[in-house]
Amino acid sequence: MAKKAAFLLLMLIVLAGCGSSKNASYTTFEKKAVATYYADKFNGKQTASGEKFSNSKLTAAHKKLPFGTKLKVTNNANGKSVIVTVNDRGPFTKGYDIDLSKKAFMEISDNKNQGKLTVTLEIAK
């Protein structure tokens, strides 16, 4: 019983520390993440949210975040950022954390031939 109470107390402390300042416009979700982008063959196909996918929109796939979540995605190499909306599930390749639409990926990438980026994800409020 003491172990369970200690665990619950620890969880409350951790959760209390996850709050953000009322003046902050973004909350850090993951410090480092690996992003890739959708292939063109997915254009027009239905996403997990029911929307049709378009590589010309600013959208993303994430394994767990709720559909409609707005994320600020920042390329750690150059500081460029883009705001995307989660509307799909994935990526399903080990080692990748988020799939971006091609438009979102290209807005923050310096090397258009590169297929993955190390990024920081922040939830927009």
Q: What is the mean pLDDT of residues 109-113?
A: 84
**What would the pLDDT profile of 82-107 be if each residue is shown by its tens digit?**
999 999 999 999 999 999 999 999 99
Position 7 pLDDT exceeds 90:
no
Residue carrying structure tokens 């979102």: 104
Tokens of 42: 């997915």
**For residue 115, is pLDDT > 90?**
no
* Residue 107: partners with Cβ closer than 8 Å, 6 or more residues away: 58, 80, 82
> What are the CA-CA distances from residue 79 to residues 58, 73, 75, 93, 110 (Å)?
18, 10, 5, 25, 10
How high is the pLDDT of residue 16? 39
In this prediction, residue 75 carries a pLDDT of: 95
Calpha distance 97→91 (Å, rounded): 6
Q: What domains does the chain contain, in order, with CATH numbers?
A: 24-124 (2.40.40.10)
Of 8, 122, 111, whose CA–CA distance to 65 is shortest? 122
Q: What is the pTM of this model?
A: 0.75
